[in-house]
Chain A
Amino acid sequence: MKYLYYPGCSLEGSAREYDRSTRVFLTAAGAELTEIEGWTCCGASAAEATSRNLALALPARNLALAEKMGGTKEILVPCSACYLNLKAVEEKVKRDAALLDRINDILAAEGLHFAGRVRVRHLLEVIVRDIGPDLISKKTTRSLAGLSIAPYYGCQCLRPYAIFDDPEAPQSMAPIIEASGAAVHHWDMGGKCCGAAHMNTKMAVGMELVRSILSRARGADAVVTVCPMCQMNLEAYQDKISKLSGENLTVTVLYLPQLLGLVLGLSEQEVGLDLNLAVTAGFKEKLRESLDTAAWRRSNRLDNHRRMAADV
């Protein structure tokens, strides 16, 4: 499992714990990452809203750099917005040679050339397809039994390209969560929109979208995400939204690799749990209890085995 790694800008700033947990979890799971040298912004939602050429050239620049790297042509992307921007260029040039020429005319300004020979993959796809629940069960040193986890997929890893999941009723995270020993919180908000950049420019609209998601997360111990923008929207405005709606909508929000890293035996610090904005004290307590119980059960089982072996 070797991948070229495109972290994206957020993962160097407000989503540092997503970068950290992605790296340590994937390493623990046996994957190898090589960061794309000299990568730059994918254009986010800003390029698409400003210039068609930039919306093509900014992601394509990174694909061209990836092609120059040699070795694997698989690019792993944890951020859903980056993923879709890169993926869209990969998909579009397959069917449109003129578009590839147009892109290369722009990239020529940097002496770069894109041939169209890469495969862009979302972190979630790699987790569910390449790693898979079996490997996670096998490598699990701890269990999250007793915790209920709400899988939140967001939009852009699911749509418009239906690569690894049902874009209407996503379910790929369920077996992974179950492999961690936790229960899946069943809801119908997994693939609904968090409002993306609305929190900055259309705050009232963004707050309403997030409110509807948080209110359906009730009963779950935590929501897990696979995108820095979803994560920020769901975790950063809980107090404000709770106050406005007159109900307590506080809930722990984690990145999926943080949760899986814990299960694989990494420490809270190693997965950057102290960096999240919405991890409740109740959740931490329950998490530690769950992990302790699992450790106790295992050592107990081990003792029994030893005793039995000694008896024989």
Chain B
Amino acid sequence: MTTKVKEEIDFSDAAGSDDLTPVREMVQACIQCGTCTGSCPNEFAMDVTPRRLWRLVLTGQREEIFQSQTFTLCSACYYCTLRCPRGLPLTEAMGALKQLAAREGLTRHRQSILFYKSFLESVRRHGRVREMEFMTLYFNAMKNPLLPLRFAALGVKLMLKGKLPLQIPSKGGGALAALFRQAAELEEVP
């Protein structure tokens, strides 16, 4: 398992240890009390508890952080952020880890990454997300012929209610292309 993940990303401290710095700064004052873990509605499904994840961030253990599913299981309910006795922006820190995984394109987190990227592609093209197009892009990216079946029943229900406009996926004029380009260019600026 370790070798496989290592092929996707070089986890050594030399490469990319700087990436974790903003996340580390967010949780620097963590006292490891575990209030976050006790408040998390998704904790039952996590391999690493939120409290332990912050410890891994503080000690720079990239491999364990990105092998775990913990940050992808954050549904942004903000209970931990609300209750953290040190007032740390924990939900935002989870988001920052999601962004790192997306930027590196980690295969292990492929499903979440492609889901969000497909969504944003539809937004880039048209300004507003087109639900049908977004899901089509997602299914195509996932290359799993069984995946659409999971959503077929709901899709039909929505269509019958006239809630899924049948817009043919189109590249559009790139309504927000300039904004996306600028955001990407400035992403490198700290």
A, B bound? yes
Asked if A106 meets B75 with Cβ closer than 8 Å, knowing A159-B81, A160-B81, the reply is: no
Question: Which of B5-13, B47-55, B117-125 lies at the interface with chain A?
Answer: B117-125
The answer for the CA separation of A139 and B78 in the assembled complex, in Å, is 36
- B41 contacts A192, CB within 8 Å? yes
A residues within 8 A CB of B38?
none
Interface centre among A16, A49, A61 (most CB of B within 10 A): A49
- A159 contacts B82, CB within 8 Å? yes
SS of B interface (majority): helix
- B77 contacts A159, CB within 8 Å? yes
The answer for the CA separation of A102 and B127 in the assembled complex, in Å, is 21
- A205 contacts B73, CB within 8 Å? yes
Considering only CB atoms, which chain B residue lies closest to A7 in the complex?
Answer: B128
B side interface size, CB within 8 A = 55
- A9 contacts B128, CB within 8 Å? yes
The answer for the CA separation of A53 and B183 in the assembled complex, in Å, is 5
A227 to chain B, nearest CB (A): 12
A residues within 8 A CB of B186?
53, 102, 105-106
- A168 contacts B82, CB within 8 Å? yes
The answer for the CA separation of A192 and B129 in the assembled complex, in Å, is 27
- Say if the beta carbon of B59 comes within 8 Å of chain A: no
A residues within 8 A CB of B184?
51, 53
A-B contact count (CB 8 A): 166
Considering only CB atoms, which chain A residue lies closest to B101 in the complex?
Answer: A49
Asked if A12 meets B116 with Cβ closer than 8 Å, knowing A40-B175, A160-B78, A202-B73, the reply is: no
B residues within 8 A CB of A16?
162-163
The answer for the CA separation of A208 and B128 in the assembled complex, in Å, is 30
- Say if the beta carbon of A14 comes within 8 Å of chain B: yes
- A51 contacts B99, CB within 8 Å? yes
- A45 contacts B116, CB within 8 Å? yes
Interface centre among A108, A167, A201 (most CB of B within 10 A): A201
B residues within 8 A CB of A156?
76-78
Classify chain A's interface size: 35 or more
- A55 contacts B178, CB within 8 Å? no
Q: Mark B108-120, 1 if CB is under 8 A from A, else 0.
A: 0001110111011
Considering only CB atoms, which chain A residue lies closest to B75 in the complex?
Answer: A196
Interface centre among B77, B78, B128 (most CB of A within 10 A): B77
B49 to chain A, nearest CB (A): 15
The answer for the CA separation of A192 and B79 in the assembled complex, in Å, is 9
Asked if A236 meets B78 with Cβ closer than 8 Å, knowing A51-B187, A110-B178, A201-B112, the reply is: no
- A106 contacts B182, CB within 8 Å? yes
B residues within 8 A CB of A201?
72, 111-112, 115
- B42 contacts A49, CB within 8 Å? no
- Say if the beta carbon of B91 comes within 8 Å of chain A: yes
User: Knowing that A13-B130, A201-B115 are A-B contacts, what are 14 other residue pairs whose CB atoms are under 8 Å apart, sorted by A's residue number?
Assistant: A40-B123, A41-B127, A41-B128, A51-B187, A58-B176, A109-B178, A155-B77, A168-B82, A193-B42, A193-B79, A197-B75, A201-B72, A203-B150, A205-B45
Which chain B residues have a beta carbon within 8 Å of chain A's beta carbons? 41-42, 44-45, 72-73, 75-79, 81-82, 91, 95-96, 98-99, 102-103, 111-113, 115-117, 119-120, 123, 127-131, 150-151, 154, 157-158, 161-165, 175-176, 178-184, 186-187
Which chain A residues have a beta carbon within 8 Å of chain B's beta carbons? 9-10, 12-16, 38-41, 43-55, 57-58, 61, 102, 105-110, 155-156, 158-160, 162, 167-168, 192-193, 195-198, 200-205, 208-209, 236-237, 274-275, 277
